[in-house]
Amino acid sequence: MKSFEKAALLFLLRHLFAGIVGAVVLATGLLWFDVAKLATLIGNSDYGITATVMLYAGLMLTFGSVSMGIGIMTMNEDTRP
């Protein structure tokens, strides 16, 4: 793997990790504070574990993708004075 490829992958992984952390914080906050009785609904469901995994996975996918997209779109390659 060439050095610029490593740098690009690390750049994307760093942004992906930031998005995943944001998603975990949001999902945990939603469940901890029982926003819109979400934790109560999940707790009373027969499929509570599945719903929780889907909540976390969906938010991680969304936030990770958005974070990587923002990272790419904010790259500044204009080196003119």
Whether the pLDDT of residue 18 is over 70: the answer is yes
Q: Is residue 65 part of a domain?
A: yes
**What confidence score (pLDDT) does residue 76 get?**
82
Q: Is residue 50 part of a domain?
A: yes
**What confidence score (pLDDT) does residue 19 get?**
98
3-state secondary structure of 43: helix
Tell me the average pLDDT across 23-29: 98
Tell me the average pLDDT across 12-23: 98
Q: Which 8-state DSSP code applies to residue 45?
A: S
Structure-block tokens of residue 40:
């109560």
Structure-block tokens of residue 14:
């760093």
Q: Is residue 3 part of a domain?
A: no
* Residue range(s) defining the domain that contains residue 39: 9-72
Q: How many domains does the chain have?
A: 1
pLDDT, tens only, 27-79: 999 999 999 999 999 999 999 999 999 999 999 999 999 999 999 999 886 65
Q: Which 8-state DSSP code applies to residue 35?
A: G
